[in-house]
Structure 1
Amino acid sequence: MRLLVLGGTEFVGRAVVEAAVARGWWVTVLNRGRNTVTQTGVVSLRGDRLAADGLAALDGLSFDAVVDTWSGEPSAVAAAASTVSATSYAYVSSRSVYAWPAPAGAAESAPLVDPSDDVADYAGIKRAGELAAVEHFGDRALLVRAGLILGPYENVGRLPWWLRRVARGGDVLAPGPASLPLQYVDARDLAEWTLDALAAGLGGPVNLVSPSGHATMSTLLTACVTATGADARLRWAPPRVILDAGVEPWTDLPVWLPPGEMHDAMHTSDVSRALGTGLRCRPVEETVADTWAWLRSIGGVAPQRPDRPPVGLDPDAEAAILTELR
């Protein structure tokens, strides 16, 4: 397979490149050159997708498949989809394209948001990106509607924050209930499934996350304790205690959403199509351990996407809640 990855140096794009190289595919990446492509044998081209001639480096080239991880202006997706010579096009979209709040158990047929070109409207620009891919590739456009993505190279900071917090040791505020089911996908599992789907000629939208309950808050945080080897004690707090303290779910305490409408929308989607087309999800313990190993290899500080705010709970706020629990 001749694969073009638009991006290819960070998180999901990097995982896709590594997986394709491991398969022996011919891989070309196009990006702005802010980061270095580390894989041997990958053809690295330069181009700013927001510039008028940003795709000029692809002139005269053709590919079996394209993977596009762009999350900015949808005009860049439209430009690439209309310009690149390829058989199929995988656009890494988001489950955010579903009208909020998505009902529990929502499948790919759930109501969608309206498309937008306003970069402040993440859901809208992702939907516009989907439509751009479909306009030019039709049923050969694969819409990878990822949910929460974790794993090595994460540049949003969710799992890295938990790992660093647990590594500090002591009492750690653990948002309950401990059995709360989670739904996420390791970036490497997303990459493998996407490449398999492209090779098989699969198209259309697919919710790409694990089955709900593949991990729980307890198994995730326990895996953090095990991986770091820290002298950390998980102190479980009921959701109401956390919410009454003014803590913001998802941002102050990454990954966690209290039981109810928000949790149902993010952690209970129907993934029958993904599973039926070969999605395999590695154990949460492997995702956590590999992310910790990666963090340690880069000095413990994960890269941060400039378009995403930092996440994590203020230590003083955590200490106040822990005192109340005691």
Structure 2
Amino acid sequence: MRLLLLGGTDFAGRAVAEAARDRGWEVTVFHRGEHPAPPGVAVRTGDRTAPDGLSALAAGEWDAVVDTWTAAPRVVRDAARLLADRVDRYAYVSSRSVHTWPIPAGLDEDGPLVEASPDADATDYAADKRGGELAALREFGPDRTLLVRPGLILGPRENCDRLPWWLRRVAQGGPLLAPGSPDTPLQYIDSRDLANWLLDALKAARHGPYNLVSPPGHTTTGQLLDACVTATGARTTLVWTAPAALEAAGVQPWTDLPIWCPPGGELHAALHGADVTRALATGLTCRPITTTVHDTWTAMNP
């Protein structure tokens, strides 16, 4: 397989590039040069937001392209339009945020979607991601477009400071406020599991939208924090604190305490309640949370 990565040097995109390279695929990374490209891949340099920024992609043919863009949908449109006659399949890494709010627990890929335009400038995250989906669909058609909709993405080189935030705090040792109950369910996808499923899906010529997070029951808040304690080796005592007490103190779920949301609320339903039947039926496998946490800590401390 000949794979073109639009991005491919940072976190999820890099995981895709490395996984494809390790499979023996011919991998080309197109990026701005802000981060080193993975060893063993071909590199083309350009800024897709600049005039003539795609000129480095004016020639070349690939079996598939993977695009992780998160901003103005017109940027996805321009790349897809340029490549439509020279690439067989387009995989766009979108988000479950494309669904209209509130996103109920158990929602599958066919739920209602936000209004968006493939020709728009950047507006908000949900509309930008949905507009990117529409841009890819318009230029490649539904049978050649794979829409990957992850929720929370964790793993080595994470650049959103969610799991690393917890690891740094746990590593300090001592009493640690642990939010809610240890059995609160969490859904996430390790960037490497995302990469493996995506590459398998491209090889199998899959198309359409897929929720891509771990199945319900894969892990909990308690298992996540226990794994952080084990990985860091810190002498940390978890002090489980009721959601009502956190709310009274003005603590904001997800932002003040990354990853966590109180169960029963809209935010938890949206972030940790996805139906992933379709992805599981097409081969999604998720490594244990202990592995994700250990490998993230190791990457933070080379």
Paired letter, 1:154: E
Counterpart position of 2:67:
68
What's the CA shift for 1:99? 0.5
Instruction: Work out whether residues 180 and 240 of structure 2, in 8 Å CA contact, stay in contact via their aligned partners in 1.
Output: yes
Query: Which stretch shows the higher mean deviation, 178-187 or 254-263?
Result: 254-263
CA distance in 2, matches of 1:224, 1:120: 36
Q: Provide the secondary structure at the position in 2 that maps to 1:80.
A: helix
Q: Provide the secondary structure at the position in 1 that maps to 2:175.
A: strand
Paired letter, 1:142: L
CA distance in 1, matches of 2:9, 2:121: 25
Counterpart position of 2:136:
133
Instruction: Work out whether residues 118 and 124 of structure 1, in 8 Å CA contact, stay in contact via their aligned partners in 2.
Output: no
What per-residue deviation string (whole Å, max 9, x for no partner) do you get for residues 193-236 of structure 1? 00000000000000000012211000000000000000000000
Instruction: Work out whether residues 114 and 124 of structure 1, in 8 Å CA contact, stay in contact via their aligned partners in 2.
Output: yes
Query: Which stretch shows the higher mean deviation, 51-60 or 9-18?
Result: 51-60
Structure 1 segments of 4+ aligned residues over 4 angstroms from their partners: none
What's the CA shift for 1:156? 0.5
Counterpart position of 2:210:
206
CA distance in 2, matches of 1:54, 1:62: 18
CA distance in 1, matches of 2:267, 2:60: 44
- Correspondences of 1:177-256 after superposition (within 5 Å): 177-256=181-260
- Correspondences of 1:297-308 after superposition (within 5 Å): 297=302
Of 264, 276, 280, 1:275 maps to 280
Query: Which stretch shows the higher mean deviation, 283-292 or 45-54?
Result: 45-54
CA distance in 2, matches of 1:253, 1:232: 17
Counterpart position of 1:109:
110
Instruction: Work out whether residues 72 and 123 of structure 2, in 8 Å CA contact, stay in contact via their aligned partners in 1.
Output: no
CA distance in 1, matches of 2:78, 2:42: 21
Counterpart position of 2:180:
176
CA distance in 2, matches of 1:120, 1:169: 41
CA distance in 2, matches of 1:268, 1:57: 41
What's the CA shift for 1:72? 1.3
Instruction: Work out whether residues 18 and 38 of structure 2, in 8 Å CA contact, stay in contact via their aligned partners in 1.
Output: no
CA distance in 1, matches of 2:25, 2:268: 39
What's the CA shift for 1:45? 0.6
The alignment of Structure 1 onto Structure 2 pairs a total of residues equal to 296
CA distance in 1, matches of 2:43, 2:247: 47
What's the CA shift for 1:52? 2.3
Paired letter, 2:255: T
Of 160, 176, 193, 1:156 maps to 160
Paired letter, 1:126: K
CA distance in 1, matches of 2:262, 2:123: 25
CA distance in 1, matches of 2:288, 2:174: 26
CA distance in 1, matches of 2:172, 2:79: 45
Is residue 21 of structure 1 aligned with residue 21 of structure 2? Answer: yes
Counterpart position of 2:300:
295
Normalised to the residue count of structure 2, the TM-score between the two structures is 0.96
Query: Which stretch shows the higher mean deviation, 17-26 or 256-265?
Result: 256-265
Counterpart position of 1:78:
77
CA distance in 2, matches of 1:74, 1:93: 11
What's the CA shift for 1:119? 2.6
Instruction: Work out whether residues 12 and 191 of structure 2, in 8 Å CA contact, stay in contact via their aligned partners in 1.
Output: yes
Aligned alpha-carbon RMSD (Å): 0.9
Q: Provide the secondary structure at the position in 1 that maps to 2:76.
A: helix
Counterpart position of 2:171:
167
Instruction: Work out whether residues 159 and 254 of structure 1, in 8 Å CA contact, stay in contact via their aligned partners in 2.
Output: yes
CA distance in 2, matches of 1:13, 1:266: 21
Q: Provide the secondary structure at the position in 2 that maps to 1:221.
A: helix
Instruction: Work out whether residues 74 and 121 of structure 2, in 8 Å CA contact, stay in contact via their aligned partners in 1.
Output: no
Paired letter, 2:202: L
Q: Matched residues, percent identical?
A: 60
Instruction: Work out whether residues 115 and 127 of structure 1, in 8 Å CA contact, stay in contact via their aligned partners in 2.
Output: yes
What's the CA shift for 1:63? 0.3
CA distance in 1, matches of 2:65, 2:177: 42
CA distance in 1, matches of 2:121, 2:167: 34
Counterpart position of 1:144:
148
Of 272, 291, 297, 1:286 maps to 291
Instruction: Work out whether residues 8 and 30 of structure 1, in 8 Å CA contact, stay in contact via their aligned partners in 2.
Output: yes
What per-residue deviation string (whole Å, max 9, x for no partner) do you get for residues 47-92 of structure 1? 1101221111112201000000110111110011110120000000
Counterpart position of 1:51:
50
Instruction: Work out whether residues 149 and 210 of structure 2, in 8 Å CA contact, stay in contact via their aligned partners in 1.
Output: yes
What's the CA shift for 1:118? 5.0
